[in-house]
Homo-oligomer: A and B are copies of this chain.
């Protein structure tokens, strides 16, 4: 597999979120959110705490029913958890009584049974090698570091070969160095698999270094306020962080968000 060159404009839209509204009791968490992801695109959503990012992601994943509006993936409406959607959360939440390998195989085991899981062991091992923790496959999560645990969680997400990856602050519990490293890993994986990805994050540099487009969300009620195209070349690396262009983009977004978060 070779790294693709970016061509989002030409790619067809695979993920469509249309007039999505979500209310919790009387509180409107999301209000008529519209959003489209193109095939192979990396989207990132950024916004202050409580603006509805996780809610949006959960509805996109079919984990939460919307109050109104709809989500369509590959022309089929999302009405529940789907095999072609992979999810990852801030916590690795590996089951402590299963080995790393067992944890990675969990989605297969749940959907297709133990036999299928056993058959998929080879693939799981490949994935673990891919993220660099092949050696830890028979180890229990209690003995993994935070970074290793998140790598295992990545493998667990990838084992079902999803077309779309939804990532809710996947590395924000890790320290900064590990996080930078993991972000580059994530980029590599997304490029290799040509996966359509959607990342929720609090970190502006993280969003900028990873995304093709950044959706800035505002709160009360949650909605997409601005969409920013990031035209840094692919594959990206951490050195780009120190370029002037990068600094400008970050500065622009910070201004935008700062205004929102701490009043006019």
Contact = CB atoms under 8 A, between A and B. Distances in A.
Interface of A: 48-49, 145-146, 175-178, 180-181, 202-204, 238-239, 241-242, 244, 247-248, 250-251, 254, 257-258, 261-262
Contact of A242 (B175, B239, B247): B247
A49 B178 CA distance: 9
A177 B257 contact: yes
8 contacts: A49-B145, A180-B254, A181-B261, A238-B254, A241-B250, A242-B247, A242-B248, A244-B244
Nearest to A177: B261
A32 B244 CA distance: 41
Oligomeric state, in copies: 2
Given A145-B49, A146-B49, A258 B202 contact: no
B49 A258 contact: no
A239 B146 CA distance: 32
A175 B202 contact: yes
B238 A175 contact: no
Given A175-B202, A176-B202, A177-B202, 17 more contacts: A49-B146, A49-B175, A49-B178, A176-B203, A176-B204, A177-B254, A177-B261, A180-B254, A181-B261, A238-B254, A239-B251, A241-B247, A241-B250, A242-B247, A242-B251, A244-B244, A247-B247
Contacts of A251: 239, 242
Sort A-B residue pairs by CB-CB distance and give the 10 closest, nearest first.
A175-B202, A242-B247, A176-B202, A176-B203, A177-B261, A242-B251, A49-B175, A177-B257, A48-B177, A176-B204
A49 B238 CA distance: 20
Given A48-B177, A146-B49, A242 B250 contact: yes
A42 B188 CA distance: 39
Contacts of A239: 251
